[in-house]
């Protein structure tokens, strides 16, 4: 039933877990707005905007951009009419402070989060996927040292976000090590 479908979702998972791939699938399949903070930041940097210059050093080091910067950047996207059919957050929130700000923004927009979905992938597999991506794409943050830092930050700062969100929304964990199409099907079931 369309009314019961949960289309305001946040996708979690460490770097290389397939969040971007699955978010793009949901955008095609459901027409939801795909809000990817990492992509937005890389775009700002490639355009050389003031924001892009501010965040470049964080991106290169694999460190989190300050919460205020991210929250300000994302605010208008959440209220975008294009998000009427729902939205999928990819890479946000990454800290408990961001999650609190998100809940407040969504409450005032009357667009509460329906579900958080986590793509679980073993660390060794993440590292080999990211090494492959480093060869295919020009991403300066897919080097071994920076990958290790991003995985550490995910564990220390982003895993606690799931405990926080679990107080108010269902948190569904999926096996992200399955083939892409199987993850997509499991995801559709999780939000149906
Ligand atoms: P991603 O493409 O999601 O892996 O993000 C790439 C990089 O962008 C991260 O390593 C951070 O430097 C930055 N970034 C993306 N999303 C956030 C966020 N929600 N909070 C802080 N930094 C972020």
Measured distance CA(188)–CA(118) in Å, rounded: 13
Of all residues in the chain, the percent with pLDDT exceeding 70 is 97
Angle formed by the axes of helices 19-30 and 180-191, nearest 10°? 60
- At 111, list the tokens: 């667009």
Measured distance CA(130)–CA(147) in Å, rounded: 8
Q: Find the catalytic residue in 6, 24, 100, 139.
A: 139
The mean pLDDT of 31-38, rounded to a whole number, is: 96
CA–centroid distance, 2 to ligand 1, in Å, is 32
Measured distance CA(87)–CA(77) in Å, rounded: 10
Whether 6 shows a pLDDT value over 90: the answer reads: no
Give residue 1's pLDDT band: very low, low, confident or very high (50, 70, 90): very low
Superfamily of domain 11-187 in CATH is P-loop containing nucleotide triphosphate hydrolases (3.40.50.300)
Q: Is 42 a catalytic residue?
A: no
Find the range with the poorest average confidence among 38-42, 84-88, 157-161, 180-184.
Answer: 84-88
> In terms of DSSP H, where are the helices of 90-179?
96-109, 123-136, 144-153, 159-165
Q: Which residues lie across from 36 on neighbouring strands?
A: 90
Per-residue model confidence (pLDDT) at position 4: 52
CA–centroid distance, 162 to ligand 1, in Å, is 17
**121-164: pLDDT as tens digits:** 999 999 999 988 888 887 888 888 999 999 999 999 999 999 99
Residue-averaged pLDDT of the chain:
94
At residue 44, what are phi and psi to the nearest 5 degrees? -60, -40
- For ligand 1, residues with CB inside 6 Å are 15, 37-38, 41, 58-59, 62-65, 70, 91-92, 94, 98, 141, 150
Domain range annotation of the chain: 11-187
Could you tell me if 117 and 172 are in contact, meaning their C-beta atoms sit under 8 angstroms apart? yes
Give residue 2's pLDDT band: very low, low, confident or very high (50, 70, 90): very low
Q: Find the catalytic residue in 27, 77, 94, 129.
A: 94
**85-99: pLDDT as tens digits:** 899 999 999 999 999
């Amino acid at each position: 039933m369309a009314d019961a479908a949960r289309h305001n979702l946040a996708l979690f998972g460490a770097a290389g877990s397939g969040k971007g791939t699955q978010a793009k699938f949901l955008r095609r399949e459901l027409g939801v707005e795909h809000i990817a903070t990492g992509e937005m930041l890389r775009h700002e940097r490639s355009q050389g905007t003031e924001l892009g210059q501010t965040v470049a050093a964080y991106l290169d080091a694999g460190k989190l951009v300050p919460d205020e910067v991210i929250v300000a950047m994302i605010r208008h996207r959440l209220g975008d009419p294009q998000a009427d059919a729902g939205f999928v957050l990819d890479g946000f929130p990454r800290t408990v402070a961001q999650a609190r700000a998100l809940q407040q923004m969504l409450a005032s927009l009357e667009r509460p989060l329906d579900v958080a979905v986590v793509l679980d992938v073993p660390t060794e597999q993440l590292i080999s996927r990211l090494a492959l991506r480093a060869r295919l794409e020009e991403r300066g943050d897919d080097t071994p040292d920076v990958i290790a830092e991003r995985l550490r930050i995910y564990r220390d700062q982003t895993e606690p976000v799931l405990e926080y969100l679990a107080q108010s929304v269902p948190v569904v964990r999926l096996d992200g090590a399955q083939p892409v199409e199987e993850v997509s099907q499991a995801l559709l079931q999780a939000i149906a």
